[in-house]
Amino acid sequence: MGLNAATKNMTSNDISIKSDDEDKIIITQIISGQKELFRLLIKRHEKAVYGMGMSFFRNTEDASDFTQDVFLKVFQNLTQFEGRSRFSTWLYKIAYNNAINNITRRKDYSSLAENDIFIANDNPERKVLRNLAKEAVKEAVMELPERFRLCVDMFFFYDRSYQEIEIITGFPVNTIKSHVFRAKKILKNKLADYSKGSIE
Q: Tens digit of pLDDT for each residue in 144-166?
A: 777 778 888 888 888 899 999 99
Give the N- to C-terminal CA distance of the chain in Å, as an integer.
Answer: 52
Measured in residues, the chain has a length of 200
Q: Looking at 35-39, 93-97, 128-132, which range is the least confident one?
A: 128-132
Q: What is the CATH number of the domain that holds 182?
A: 1.10.10.10
CB 55 within 8 A of CB 109: yes
Say yes or no to pLDDT of 138 above 50.
Answer: yes
What pLDDT is stored for residue 123 in this prediction? 60
Mean pLDDT across the chain: 79
Confidence of residue 45 (pLDDT cuts 50, 70, 90): very high
**Cβ-proximal residues to 15 (8 Å cutoff; 6+ apart), any chain:** 43, 44
pTM value is: 0.72
**Count of domains for the chain:** 2
Residue after which a domain boundary falls, among 47, 73, 107: 107
Residues 196 and 122 in one domain: yes
Residues 11 and 77 in one domain: yes
Residues 5 and 102 in one domain: yes
Task: State the Cα torsion 45-19-109-99 to the nearest 10°.
Answer: -50
Domain hosting 163: range is: 109-200
pLDDT digits (tens, 9 = 90+) for 48-99: 999 899 888 888 999 999 999 999 999 999 999 988 889 999 999 999 999 9
Give, as one character, the DSSP assignment of residue 59.
S
What pLDDT is stored for residue 172 in this prediction? 94
CA dist 137 and 131 (Å) reads 10
Confidence of residue 113 (pLDDT cuts 50, 70, 90): low
Residue after which a domain boundary falls, among 107, 128, 146: 107
User: Residue 117: how many CB atoms within 10 A of its CB?
Assistant: 16
